[in-house]
A and B are shown apart, each in its own frame.
Chain A
Amino acid sequence: MSGQSVSLHAYLPFLIDGVWVTLQITFAAMALAVPVAFLLAAGRMSSWRVVRLAAGFVIELFRGTSAVVQLFWAFYVLPLFGITLSPMAAGILVLGLNEGSFFSEVVRASLKSIVVGQREACVALHLPRRYAFWRIILPQALPVMIPPFGNALVLMLKFTALVSLVTVQDLSFRADQIRTALGVSGEIYGVVLMIYFALALVLAGAVALLERQAARWAGRPVPALLPWLRAHASPVPRWALGR
């Protein structure tokens, strides 16, 4: 038994390298997903019917088909058309476009959630449309988008395990290799589960801080950091503490 633990220990640096790969894919795919989501949302809100239909088609295409099949497509079928992607690039592309399609609906709903009065004020003040969007509507829509963005980010982190299917050496891929080498599944998957959990916690915390910042942009009152932390970080609800 103890011999096995020692060898698992020896594999830890190998596993940590996998964490970096997983994080790289997560951030790269999100970095692709956000602009894609804005583009698709803009397409869905276009005044041209053709553009609306095209954006809707792309969204439904990615939402409505299996991500694994899309991944296989990008990795195994695209080369037949002369487009060869590295496993990493294929993974980032598919995950990014997928999330972009889902998130475009969040973007669209957030932009629409800005009350009609704000848009009418922009018209009544004769503000140029570009200015109205970037300086009036978007700063107010961003805080609405951030909680679902945090959700999407954590989902993306877990979603990245898919890319191990096309030989990307991410956390899951390496866990599988260690399992094969050592023949122990309990320990190794336990460790990997905890690593994913720890990463997700850190990401969720970072998004919560981002949410505060966005509320500040939108002109909403933001409580000081310490009392806010005390109110949000405790796993025990306040009513349970009898205060």
Chain B
Amino acid sequence: MPGDDRIAATGGRPPMVRMAGVSKAFDGRTVLDAVDFAVRAGEKVTLIGPSGSGKTTILRLAIGLTKPDAGLIEIDGRYLWHEIRAGQLVDAGERHARGVRRVVGMVFQQFNLFPHMTALQNVRDPTIQVLGLTRDEAESRAVELLTQVGLADHMAKRPAQLSGGQQQRVAIARALALRPKVMLFDEVTSALDPELVGEVLRVIRELAHATDMAMLLVTHEISFAEDIADRVLMFDAGRIVEDGPPAQVLKDPTHPRTRQFLRAIIER
């Protein structure tokens, strides 16, 4: 099957993100119900499913924006909210989690750029704070990344002066600047005007083909998912109901819920 070779390419590599028995409820409503999965280093995985099925919560858990009610999360070989002390698995606090999640980057649906900073400052300043780069190093890295996402002419502009597509590309450059090993994309084109979706997807596609980062993408763009994903996970009601290469999950789904979901999206 096409796509199998892509799985083979990442096979045998250690897991970059692993969740085991992860559950999460908000106000008594179960969003994730004992979910298990692993994403290997370099693997590109898209998460699909109806809204409220838990896809976004997976990303938020992976970067430590929320804490699971139960289960284990492992990032790059280290537990996010636990540590092993004297052979025992014990709870670890916020400080420990900050260190572990450093290798994770995230791009949000609503961009969340800092409105009082220029595009250049948005990309440059976190690298000074987090990676400890000098101002010059940080500046040249920011210029390089903004050029890479096609914004060389807009670096001095504030977010309010940029289109949605340009803002989202700044946000991608900003996350990349911190040299993550895993990138999370949370419906990054959902808030964009239709004619601006293409430019953002193009940047992500190039990134997916050119880098060795693991990527987790929540998206409703099925053809995009098919193009860049090594694997597709179908979520429904807080569980993964189907997990396989895009050629199988998207073209020949076995689970009735996946078939129903894909039909609804295609007929949209």
Partner of A123, one of B63, B110, B117, B174: B63
A-B contact count (CB 8 A): 58
Q: Contacts of B113 on A, CB cut-off 8 Å?
A: 121
Given A127-B130, A139-B116: A220 touches B160 (CB 8 Å cut-off): yes
- List A residues 106-127 near B (Cβ within 8 Å): 117-118, 120-121, 123-127
Residues of B within 8 A of A117 (CB): 108, 110, 112
Q: Which residues of A contact B251 (CB under 8 A)?
A: none
The reply to whether B105 and A124 form a contact with Cβ atoms under 8 Å apart is: yes
Residue contact A120 to B112, C-beta cutoff 8 Å:
yes
Q: Is A8 an interface residue (CB 8 A)?
A: no
A121 neighbours in B (Cβ, 8 Å) = 108, 112-114
CB of A223 within 8 Å of the partner chain: no
Alpha-carbon distance between A219 and B101 when the two chains are bound, in angstroms: 30
The answer to whether B115 and A126 touch across the interface, beta carbons within 8 angstroms, is no
- Measured CA separation A218–B159 after assembly (Å): 11
* Closest chain B residue, CB of each to CB of A120: B65
Q: Which of B121-142 contact A (CB under 8 A)?
A: 125-126, 129-130
The residues of A that contact B15 with a CB separation of less than 8 Å are none
Tell me whether A118 and B114 are in contact (CB under 8 A): yes
Say whether B98 faces chain A, with CB atoms less than 8 Å apart.
yes
Min CB–CB distance A27 → chain B (angstroms)? 28
Contact of A219 among B106, B115, B130, B175 (CB under 8 A): B115
Q: Does A131 contact B (CB under 8 A)?
A: yes
B97-111 vs A, CB cutoff 8 Å, 1 = contact: the mask equals: 010011011101010
Main secondary structure of the interface of A (DSSP, over half): helix
A127 to B104, CA, bound (A): 13
Contacts of B102 in A (CB 8 A): 126
Contact of A124 among B108, B117, B158, B160 (CB under 8 A): B108
Asked if B65 and A127 make an inter-chain contact with CB atoms under 8 angstroms apart, the answer reads: no
| Closest CB in chain A relative to B158 CB, distance in Å | 5
Docked CA distance A121–B115 (Å):
12
Q: Tell me, rounded to whole Å, the shortest Cβ–Cβ distance linking A131 to chain B.
A: 5
Q: Within the complex, which residue of B98, B116, B125, B178 is in contact with A217, where a contact is CB–CB below 8 Å?
A: B116
Residues of A72-121 whose CB lies within 8 A of B: 117-118, 120-121
Q: How far does the alpha carbon of A84 sit from the alpha carbon of B112 in the complex, in Å?
A: 53
Does B64 sit within 8 A of A, measured CB to CB?
yes
Task: Determine the chain B residues whose CB is within 8 A of the CB of A220 once the complex forms.
Answer: 115, 160
Complex-state Cα separation, A139 to B121, whole angstroms? 15
A123 close to B115 (CB less than 8 A): no
Chain A residues in 8 Å Cβ range of B104: 124
Residue A136 interfacial (CB < 8 Å):
yes
A127 and B160 contact, CB distance less than 8 A: no
Q: Find chain B residues with CB under 8 A from A123 CB.
A: 63-65
Residue of A nearest to B64 (CB): A123
Residue in B104, B105, B114, B178 whose Cβ sees the most chain A Cβ within 10 Å: B114
Cross-chain contact of B114 among A124, A126, A136, A221 (Cβ < 8 A): A136
Q: How far is the CB of B138 from chain A (nearest CB, A)?
A: 13
Binding site for A on B (CB under 8 A): 63-65, 98, 101-102, 104-106, 108, 110, 112-117, 125-126, 129-130, 158-160, 174-175, 178
User: Taking beta carbons and an 8 Å cutoff, which residues of A are in contact with B?
Assistant: 117-118, 120-121, 123-128, 131, 135-136, 139-140, 217-221
Given contacts A124-B104, A124-B108, A125-B130, 16 further A-B contacts (CB under 8 A): A117-B108, A117-B110, A117-B112, A118-B114, A120-B112, A121-B108, A121-B112, A121-B113, A121-B114, A123-B64, A124-B112, A139-B116, A140-B116, A219-B116, A219-B117, A220-B115
Can you report 25 residue pairs joining A to B where beta carbons are below 8 Å apart? A117-B112, A118-B114, A120-B108, A120-B112, A121-B113, A123-B63, A124-B104, A124-B106, A125-B174, A125-B175, A125-B178, A126-B102, A126-B130, A131-B129, A135-B125, A139-B116, A140-B116, A217-B116, A218-B115, A219-B114, A219-B115, A219-B158, A220-B115, A220-B160, A221-B160
